Chain A
Amino acid sequence: MIRSKKRVLTNFGRNCAAQSVCIRPDNEKELVTYLQQKDPGQFLARGSGLSYNDSCLNKDNLMIDMSRFNHLLSFDSSSGIAICQGKTTFKDLFSLHPDFIPPIIPGTIHATLAGGIAHDVHGKNNAHAGSLGQHILWIDLLLNGRTIRCSREENSDLFYATIAGLGLTGIILRLALRLKKATRFVQVETTSFQNIQSLLTNMASHELNHDYQVAWLDLLNPEPRALLSVANHCAPAKLNKPKHFTVPRIPFNLIHAWNMRLFNTLFFTHSKKSRKVELQQFNNPLDKVNNWSRLYGRKGLVQFQALFDKDNALLIIEQLINSIKINQATPALAVLKLFIRPGEGLLSFCKPGFTFAIDFPNNQHTHTAILAMNQIITKAGGRVYLAKDLFLTPEQFLIMYEKQDEFRTVLTHYECSMHSDLARRLRIKQ
C-alpha cells in the first residue's frame, strides 16, 4: 500500500493555502487499488495546482497528487486526435507534431489538460474555437473505483458535468482531444485606443476577422487606455528564441501603482504596431518569466475575472473601474476578451459577452474592491470565473450559474465523492 503524507498546498496566485493528506500513486493500477481498498472520504485530484483560487485545495482531506499521470498515449496525424493522461500539459501537446497545436491555449501552457477540462478553459480564440470542452472527444473518468468512459454519446450527462466540473465528478484519467492544424507563428497587429468605448466597438465588429483577439488595458492611467492585439496564423519564419527568466522568492510585493504606471506607459508607447512572433510568445507572454507570480511577494496575487453582456459592457466596465478606484486597489494587469461561443459544460464560464480579467496584489484594498465588483457583476446578470474566484458567496453563485441544479443531480446520481474548498465555500455540493 502506498504511503501518504501531510502537505501544505497552495495555488498559482499563492493567495491561500491548506493542509491535506497527500498520496502520489505511480500508475493507474496503484490509484485504482488504493481507491478500492481505502475509503478516501471527500478527496480531490490535483494536477499542477495552477488555478488562482481554492479550486485546487481540499483542506484536511485527501489530495491525490496526479504528477505521475503525464503520459502522451497516442496521436493520429490524419485526424489530429490525441489521447493522453490527465496530467499532460498544454505544453506537452506541442511536442506531438510540428503541424498541430492545441485547439485552445489558456494563459499558461503549463496547465494540465485535466485541469483545463475541469475549468473548461478558454484562450484568445473563443470566436472560432469556443472553450476546451468543445474539442474533447471522450474522457475516462475514475469514479467510485471504476473507470467510466464518457462522451457526447456515452454517459453524456457525466460528460457535460465533467466539462467545467471543477474536478468534482471523478478523476480524469485519460482523455481524447482533437488538435488544430496550424502553424506556430502569428502575425500580430496592435492598435491603441484612448477610450474604452471605441475599443469595445472595434472588438465587437472585428471579432470573427481574426484567429486571436485580446485587449490589454491600462487602468492606472487617469483616463483608461488600451492596446488591442489581433493575430492570425502565418507562414513559419526564422525568429530569435525569446529569453526565459526566473523570479526568485521575494519576501515583499514588488508590484505597486507607481512602478506599474511607469511600466504601462513604456509598454503603451513602445508596442510595435505590426510584428511576427511565435504563437506561444503572443499567447503566453508571461510564460517567459518562470514563477512571475513571485513578483507579488509572499502574499501573492488575486485575479478577478468576470463575464458580462456585450450591450451594457461600457457601463459595467466603468462601474468596475470605479469600485477599484474607490477601494484604492492596484489593478496591475487588465485584459479584455470577447466571447461568442458558450461552453458545453453545465458549469462552463464561457457565454457570449465581454470577459474582463484583472490582476491585483493580495491585500485588503483588493478584497473590498473584488467584493464590490462581485456585487456589480451579480446585479448585471454576469458571472465570475470559478477558476479564479475567491470571494463569491453561495447566493451569488446561485444566481450566476443557471445549470447548477442539473450539475448537482449528476453528482448525486453517480454518487461522486470528490470535494474541494471551492465546492464547500460555494456549497456546490450538498
Chain B
Amino acid sequence: MKTRTWVILGATSIIAEQFAHLAAQAGQSLLLVARDDEQLAIIANDMKLRYQVPCELISLNMAGTIDKLLAIFDQRVGELDLLIAHSDFTGNNRLDAKTITRLIKINILATVQLIHGYLNLKQTQHHLIYLSSVAACRGRARNSLYGGSKAAIEIYLQGLQQAAASTQHIMIARLGFIDTRQTFGLSGIFYAASPEACAAACWKAMKRKKRMLYFPAFWRGIVVIITRLPFFIYKRSGI
C-alpha cells in the first residue's frame, strides 16, 4: 500500500498533536496546518525526529483565504486523509460583528470548503474525521454560536455520510471535556479526559470505521438526557 498523508487542520491543538503522533507512528506522512507558524515548526520537527516520517507544514489562518490549502489538495502526490481539529471557541458573551464573522468563517465557511474540496479529490479511499463537540447537541447560553457552528458541520457531514461510497469513511467525534487549554481551570469541569486518550479513541474508531464517536463514552448518556430535558427545566437548570 502506498503511504498516505494525514492532513491535520489545527495541528497545534494538543488533541491534533497527539493524533499526529499516532499517524506518524503508523508510518504515515503528515501535513500539518495551523496559524501559529513558530509552534507548528516545533511540532513538525518533533514528528520528523521521533518517527522519521515526512512532515510538511502550512501556516494558514482559516479566517483568511484558504486557497493555498485547496491548491495543495489538488496538486498532491499520493492520497490524503483529513483530520479537522481547528476551531474558534468564542463564547456568546464576547460576540460582536468581528468575532461573529471570524467564528462563522473558521468554523463553517472554511471547514465546509475544505470538506467539499477533500471529498471531491479522486482517491481510492477517503478518511475524514471531524472533531465536533457535545455543545452541538443543544444550544447553551454560554456558547450556542460555537455549538451551532459545530451542529451545522455535523448535519452537513451526516448528508455526506448518507451519500458516501464504501471507500469514503466520514466520522464525527463528539468530544466532551478534554484536558486542554479550553477546559483548564474552568469551573464546572467534573472530569476532563486526557488528550492522548482522546486521540487514541479517534484513531481506533477510525480504524473500525465508526460514523459517530462519543469521547469520553459516558457523554453519550449525558447528551441523551440533555437533549430530552423539557425546555422549562433546561432553562432553569443553567447547564
Chain A interface (Cβ < 8 Å from any Cβ of B): 2-5, 23-24, 26-29, 68, 71-75, 85, 92, 95-96
Contact = CB atoms under 8 A, between A and B. Distances in A.
A2 B49 CA distance: 30
A104 B131 CA distance: 41
B36 A95 contact: no
Contacts, number: 48
Most chain A CB atoms below 10 A, which of B14, B42, B185? B185
Contacts of A92: 50
B52 to A, nearest CB: 9
A214 B46 CA distance: 34
A72 B39 CA distance: 12
Contacts of A71: 42-43, 45-46
B85 to A, nearest CB: 14
28 contacts: A2-B181, A2-B184, A2-B185, A3-B184, A3-B185, A3-B186, A4-B185, A24-B181, A24-B184, A26-B39, A27-B12, A27-B36, A27-B39, A28-B38, A29-B38, A71-B42, A71-B43, A71-B46, A72-B45, A72-B50, A73-B45, A73-B46, A74-B45, A74-B49, A75-B49, A85-B42, A95-B49, A95-B50
Contacts of A26: 12, 14, 39, 181
Interface string B149-182: 0000000000000000000000000000000010
Contacts of B49: 72-75, 95-96
A29 B185 CA distance: 20
A92 B49 CA distance: 10
A96 B43 CA distance: 15
A75 B38 CA distance: 18
Most chain B CB atoms below 10 A, which of A4, A28, A71, A73? A71
Contacts of A75: 49
A3 to B, nearest CB: 3
B74 to A, nearest CB: 31
List of 6 A-B pairs having minimum Cβ-Cβ separation, nearest first: A3-B185, A5-B185, A71-B46, A72-B49, A27-B39, A95-B50
A5 B51 CA distance: 34
A85 B49 CA distance: 13
Contacts of A96: 49-50
Contacts of B186: 3
Contacts of B46: 71-73
A264 to B, nearest CB: 37
Nearest to B44: A71
A349 B184 CA distance: 37
A73 B36 CA distance: 16
A410 B209 CA distance: 59
A257 to B, nearest CB: 38
A72 B42 CA distance: 8
A30 B86 CA distance: 19
Interface in B19-75: 36, 38-39, 42-43, 45-46, 49-51
A68 B14 contact: yes
Given A29-B38, A73-B49, 12 more contacts: A2-B185, A3-B185, A3-B186, A24-B181, A71-B43, A71-B45, A73-B42, A73-B45, A73-B46, A85-B42, A95-B50, A96-B49
